[in-house]
Amino acid sequence: MRIALMADIHANRLALEACLEHARGQRMDRLVFLGDYVGYGAQPNEVMEQIMAEAARGATAVAGNHDQAVANDRDVMTPDAETAMAWTRGQLGPAARDFLSSLPLRFEDGTRLYVHASPQTYPPWIYIRESRDARRALEASRAQTVFCGHTHLPALHGITATGQLVSFTPVPSVPVPLPPHRRWLTVVGAVGQSRDGNPAAAYALLDTTTSEITHFRVPYDVQAAAASILEAGLPPALARRLREGR
């Protein structure tokens, strides 16, 4: 079975469509969304329609911090994120709000665990940026493989039974075997707001038959997505970072 894993879509319709199209070309059998469907971007309703349609067809979806922030404003966000979130709350209809508030924080699928940020308890929403973050996250879970997003930076961490950790930045399009003697944590990267200097959308594809994971980078019309942010009157920095992938 081939499972496409997509996180941090952030109301970027063009990036989501490009990734879905690419994943269909990769013969994906299942789709898993790892949270943060809204926030930052200018097309929350279009994105939510897609997510809800895929969920109705059987896709799995968990909630991210931005999805939770729609219903409550307790979490502290950066000023630009807060501005975008206030705007997003005014845009979303009741169906999308209901859908977002119904999402689970985690979903276990056999030996696989899907979460937005980390298997550790919330709050806070933890960023897995370094090996030691990954170690804590893996120690907080029993799953053989953990899949998450949140940092917007594709990464792969593996740990042995004796606690030896290997961390790796995946090379796009190169399948990486996940040997069974270790437990693995994959950060799939962001569909809708890249932060590693490459503006292309990112997602990952797990092949459970060969036990290989491939991180993909998918080009999409970044200029158009940035323009829609400016048109919506959202902070220009959010358009700029989309173009720069920062």
Partner 1 sequence: MHPETIAPGTILDGFCVGERIHRGGMASLWAASHPDIPFPLLVKAPILSEGTDPAAIVGFEMEQMILPRLSGPHVPKFIAQGTTGLQPYLVMERIPGPSLLPRLTQLPLPWAEVAALGARIAMALDDLHRQHVVHLDVKPSNLLTRPTGEMVLIDFGLSHHDELPDLMGEEFRLPYGTAPYMAPEQVLGFRKDPRSDQFALGVLMYFFVTGVRPFGDPQRLSGLKRRLWRDSVPPRLLRPDCPPWLQEIILRCLEVHPAWRYPTAAHLALALRHPDQVKLTARSEKLRQDSFTTVLRRRFADRELSIPTGKTPTQHDGDAPILAVAIDLSPEAAPTAELLRTMVAHMLPALPGARVACLNVFKLGRITLDQTVDDQGRNIHLQRLVELRHWAESLGLEEGRISFHVLQSPDSASAILHYVNANRVDHVVIGARASSLRRSLLGSVSSQVAAQAPCTVTVVRSRRLRKSDFSQEPEDQSDVPWTVG
Q: What is the DSSP string of 74-121?
A: -S---HHHHHHHHHHHHH--HHHHHHHHH--SEEEETTEEEESS-SS-
State yes or no: residue 57 binds partner 1 (CB under 8 A). no
Residue closer to partner 1 by CB (options 96, 156) is 156
Ranges within 89-108 binding partner 1 (CB under 8 A): none
Q: How far is it, in rounded angstroms, from Cα 130 to Cα 53?
A: 35
Q: Is 177 helix (H, G, I), strand (E, B) or coil?
A: strand
Among 53, 71, 166, 224, binds partner 1 (CB under 8 A): 166
State yes or no: residue 167 binds partner 1 (CB under 8 A). yes
Min CB(178)–partner 1 separation in Å: 9
Q: What is the CA radius of gyration of the chain?
A: 17
Question: How many chain residues interact with partner 1 (CB under 8 A)?
Answer: 15
Among 26, 102, 111, 160, binds partner 1 (CB under 8 A): 160
Min CB(147)–partner 1 separation in Å: 16
Largest CA distance in the chain: 53
Among 23, 38, 143, 156, binds partner 1 (CB under 8 A): 156
Residue closer to partner 1 by CB (options 55, 165) is 165
Q: Is 157 helix (H, G, I), strand (E, B) or coil?
A: strand
Instruction: Find, among 8, 211, 214, the residue nearest to 111 by Cα.
Output: 211
Ranges within 171-210 binding partner 1 (CB under 8 A): 171, 174, 176-177, 179, 181
Q: Output b/e per residue, 206-243; b: 16+ Cβ within 10 A.
A: bbbeebebbbbbbebebeebbebbeebebbeebbebbe
Phi, psi dihedral angles at 78 (to 5 degrees): -65, 155
State yes or no: residue 224 binds partner 1 (CB under 8 A). no
Residue closer to partner 1 by CB (options 177, 236) is 177
Residues at the interface with partner 1 (CB under 8 A): 156, 158, 160, 162, 164-168, 171, 174, 176-177, 179, 181
